[in-house]
Structure 1
Amino acid sequence: MSITIKDIAKKAGVSPSTVSRTINNHYSISEETKEKVRKVMDELGYVYDKSHIKKHDVGVVFPRSMVDVYENPFYLEIVRGISYMCNKGRYSLHIITGADTREMKTSMEIADCEGYIFLNTKIESSVTDYLRERMIPYIMIGKPPMNSITSVSVDTDNIQAGYEAVKYLLKKGHQKIGYIGEKKDVQYSIDRRLGYIQALSEAGYEIKEDYIKNLSSSYSYNPNEILELLRSDDCPSAFVVCDDIYAVIMVRLITEVGKKVPDDISIVSFNNSIFARFSEPPLTSIDVSPNQLGMEAVVQLIKHIETPTMFATRSIVPFTKR
């Protein structure tokens, strides 16, 4: 008499679906329960056909601007979290790149994944149309477009993070606080600036446009406006900087004008990356948990793969100040 999944379930005190999910190493079953079920399987000599185990193929889609991705450890930490969850669930991970939309879709066709994780929210409509036509689920890391009601996403509350950065500096006694952002159309930088404005307005301080500057790129930027502000008599005593990489640039520029961090000017940045920890002096940085963003993205994507009729989900991963 052959042993069935129902026999395993009865002896282990679980449902047949739990046994099935254990066989497929499903993330929803705790390791403790899996161990209990596997022990019963061994005791009863249950042998299952591994060729029938459902295996997910997950694709990670890199932005077209590869320089920013390779340069910024934020993205590498996200991929590390994605990789960890895929290895834990025994899912195959595919890297999707492309210099243009055509190359990206070609990479997707070759990989033939069950779902995709985009490392940002700037996705060409032809790519999303391609996925929707084939009913392939995908998830974005970041804040989806305002007009999108069907997008699945994982993000940090960047408005609140910017707000908390300013509150921290206000508690330190700073009254003249500047903001250094990225390109004007980068959503996380926009949101952190909104939080910056909200905190200053709430505290009764004037929002000075001269205190708000942008760095277009960490590898190609024009610092003249920032240097002019740093040399002025009305220079802020502190800055909220949208990313650790730009914070390191700010330390260099502050040094260039003969001032020091934090003696003359304080800085609070974001990501708590190796740049913040190894900077001299070490920088105060808000940890937006990119590793956790990656892990949560896999969890949510697998849910949508397994339940195609699910409503769109938008998960928020909490941040901490380091």
Structure 2
Amino acid sequence: MAITIKDIAKKAGVSPSTVSRTINNHYSISEETKAKIRAVMDELGYVYDKSHLQTHTIGVVFPRSMVDVYENPFYLEIVRGISYLCNKEHYTLNLITGADFREIKTSIEIANCEGYIFLYADINEALTHYMVEHEIPYIVIGKPAMQSVTSLSVDTDNVQAGYEAVKYLISKGHKKIGYIGAEKHAQYALDRRIGYTQAITEAGYPLRDNYIHTLSSSYTYSPDDILSLLRSENCPTAFVVCDDIYAVIMTRLIDEVGKRVPDDISLISFNNSIFARLANPPLTTIDVNPNQLGMEAVVQIVKHIETPTMFATRTIVPFTIRKRQSVKSV
């Protein structure tokens, strides 16, 4: 029976891709590891043909709702970071889409990549079980639904980001601060709301339920509750808004009730997308560095492809407040 790359990998205690990269004399493999693998190759009498080497691939799995991807440049920035580092690491990309477990599973089986990056964290339990059962390396961008030693992820500290957003508004003299979340109750929006709650409570300000609302970018959405709040005498002087897209919608709603940003109401949002830069006025926003999230996801998944025995890691990418004209001191 012919000796294969998988035989070499098993004998040397490394992944097949590490053997393949050793054959290609890739810079990412240490000289010590290369020497060990070559010794095993000699021992087993392995003769390789470079024309038959496997292609190094990483699959990028998009959210089930592609509408989110098309509407929100956040995902495109992540993919830009992934693409940049994959090119540098000599990995090719396969894009994976699917509306449910069956479609995604089928796409993953067809793609047969060495590892996968999920652009979302709320992975179907059946899919998680499938990936673990078949020992397929994967990483999620976001907070895993179930924290465990097997969860590999890269994320922003969204609780701290929500907290810092409120603290920035407080530093500008605001005491009546509202929060606008996502209608779909995404984990990032819930975490940012937790941070908002912590900062409001710590400052000793009352936590008003009617100051907390959700928005949707859907054309059928009717924001009557928010309009009522904006028209009320006890309207917040500032809002933390969980996404730049929703902050643009909030600007329009504020205009609709005859008020202005930031003269009457200040806004701070998240993601530092093109929407934040082109809004009128330009938005003060928390830059969660999506490009860096994508690059870090590649770094981590490549490490785990090369060394399958590594412990799972949760990497936190720092955020920055981009100060623009949508926040005014009171």
TM-score (norm 1): 0.84
CA distance in 1, matches of 2:231, 2:183: 23
Q: Does 1:149 align with 2:118?
A: no
The answer for the alignment partner of 2:125 in structure 1 is 125
Q: Displacement, 1:28?
A: 8.5
The answer for the alignment partner of 2:67 in structure 1 is 67
The answer for the alignment partner of 1:101 in structure 2 is 101
Q: Displacement, 1:125?
A: 1.4
> Any conservation in 2 of the 1:174–1:237 contact (CA below 8 Å)?
yes
Residue by residue, what CA displacement relative to the aligned partner does 1:46-100 show, whole Å, maximum 9, x if unpaired? xx97547674210000111110111100011001100111111110100000122
CA distance in 1, matches of 2:24, 2:205: 57
The answer for the alignment partner of 2:214 in structure 1 is 214
> Any conservation in 2 of the 1:182–1:217 contact (CA below 8 Å)?
no
The answer for the alignment partner of 1:251 in structure 2 is 251
- Report sequence identity in percent: 70
> Any conservation in 2 of the 1:27–1:89 contact (CA below 8 Å)?
no
Q: Does 1:237 align with 2:234?
A: no
The answer for the alignment partner of 1:3 in structure 2 is none
CA distance in 2, matches of 1:299, 1:51: 27
> Any conservation in 2 of the 1:268–1:284 contact (CA below 8 Å)?
yes
The answer for the alignment partner of 2:201 in structure 1 is 201
Q: Displacement, 1:127?
A: 1.2
Q: Which consecutive residues of structure 2, in runs of 5 or more, have no partner in the other structure? A: 1-18, 32-47, 323-330
CA distance in 2, matches of 1:249, 1:28: 52
Q: Displacement, 1:165?
A: 0.5
The answer for the alignment partner of 1:175 in structure 2 is 175
> Any conservation in 1 of the 2:216–2:246 contact (CA below 8 Å)?
no
CA distance in 1, matches of 2:252, 2:51: 57
Residue by residue, what CA displacement relative to the aligned partner does 1:190-233 show, whole Å, maximum 9, x if unpaired? 11111111111111111111100011445542211110100011
Partner of 1:26, secondary structure, is coil
> CA distance change for structure 1 residues 253 and 27 in 2, over 3 Å: closer, same or farther?
farther
Q: Which consecutive residues of structure 1, in runs of 5 or more, have no partner in the other structure? A: 1-16, 30-47
> CA distance change for structure 1 residues 140 and 20 in 2, over 3 Å: closer, same or farther?
same
Q: Displacement, 1:146?
A: 3.9
> CA distance change for structure 1 residues 87 and 28 in 2, over 3 Å: closer, same or farther?
farther
The answer for the alignment partner of 2:28 in structure 1 is 26
CA distance in 2, matches of 1:226, 1:54: 55
CA distance in 1, matches of 2:244, 2:220: 16
Q: Displacement, 1:185?
A: 3.0
Q: Displacement, 1:102?
A: 1.1
The answer for the alignment partner of 1:302 in structure 2 is 302
The answer for the alignment partner of 2:293 in structure 1 is 293
Q: Displacement, 1:21?
A: 9.5
CA distance in 2, matches of 1:141, 1:219: 28
CA distance in 1, matches of 2:244, 2:30: 35
Partner of 1:309, secondary structure, is coil
> Any conservation in 2 of the 1:24–1:53 contact (CA below 8 Å)?
no
Partner of 1:104, secondary structure, is helix
TM-score (norm 2): 0.82
Partner of 1:227, secondary structure, is helix
CA distance in 2, matches of 1:218, 1:106: 30
> Any conservation in 2 of the 1:24–1:54 contact (CA below 8 Å)?
no
> CA distance change for structure 1 residues 21 and 177 in 2, over 3 Å: closer, same or farther?
farther
* Counterpart residue identity of residue 244, structure 1: D
The answer for the alignment partner of 1:267 in structure 2 is 267
Q: Does 1:162 align with 2:167?
A: no
Partner of 2:136, secondary structure, is coil
> CA distance change for structure 1 residues 220 and 50 in 2, over 3 Å: closer, same or farther?
farther
> CA distance change for structure 1 residues 184 and 62 in 2, over 3 Å: closer, same or farther?
closer
